[in-house]
Amino acid sequence: MKKIVVLGSLNMDLVTRVHKTPKVGETVLGDGFNEIPGGKGANQAVAIGKLGGHVSMIGRVGKDDFGKKLKDALEKNGVDGAGVLYTDEAPTGTALIMVNDDGDNSIVVIPGANFSMQPENVLQRDLAGKDILLGQLETPIETIEAAFSKAREMGLMTVLNTAPAQVLSPALISNVDVLVPNETEFEILTGHSAESEEGLGKGSKLLFELGVKELIITLGKEGALYLNHEGKRHYMSGYKVDAVDTTAAGDSFIGGLLTALSRGADIEEAMAFAMKVGAVTVTKHGAQSSLPTLAEVESFKGVKRK
């Protein structure tokens, strides 16, 4: 099994349920309040850990109760958290989350300690002995660029989830083997819409010319589309499920994908497994609390969307 290291964010999610998402200037009543470990980086690491993958994490938390709880959550879920260090520069990152009756969420992220992670903080020893580096965009971009450059030099496979959406430098993209955007992120990255064949072709060509080898565009409940620089294409449809909370859907898909790849699955097998992981995730509440175990995924008997 290949060893995965995740560079990314750790947040304490402060979650309430609402009947409907409020409009600007509108006040609505929340139903309940929960503290749930989250952050895109930690979510993806925990997804891999709960599925039985070999995973460690690099990150920063504050010297506060949230920081300790987030570190404990990593270890509890099979993630080596030795690379997650405490800092007194900022409090632990937090996220304010509202989940409405349709299972859709609205999120405000306060980065906190995540943004204290500087390029010099990613050391060669953090990457040594690892096979795959996975990153997202909730830590400083210059730190991500430095880590991916170092990982490429050391021979690691590099995987970048381009969330939250932003324009990226050619220097960073050139050090990415597998790029995983959603449709909105794809358009921001390339200036082309994935909703048309022309836009998909032009946008993917641009990314492949910059050095990306494989591209997986996530399509929400509709599934995901795979393309590579050699012209291969594969579409994987999603499952019909009664979604109650989509908070960690994308993170669980990526965690499932990387876990399967680390075990030697080909891309079609990995996407099929990841789709099941995502489907199980949205049937439960919360971020890390919704991420399934391997046994839950293996017992899932869903119906595919057409």
> Known catalytic residues?
251
Would you call 162 helix, strand, or coil by DSSP?
Answer: coil
Rounded CA separation 203/180 (Å): 13
Question: CA 90 to CA 58: how far, in whole Å?
Answer: 17
Residue 63 in tokens: 């010297």
How far are the Cα atoms of 91, 272, 291 from residue 114, in angstroms, in the given order?
9, 32, 22
Can you name the residues that pair with 5 across neighbouring β-strands? 56, 133
Rounded distance, CA 54 to CA 49, Å? 7
Q: Are strands 223-228 and 233-237 parallel, antiparallel or unpaired?
A: antiparallel
Pairing of strands 214-218, 223-228: antiparallel
CA–CA gap between residue 56 and residue 78 (Å, rounded): 9
CA distance 247 to 252: 10
CA 13 to chain centre: 15
* 187 burial type by CB count under 10 A (0-12 exposed, 13-18 middle, 19+ buried): middle
Q: Tokens for 108?
A: 């405000």
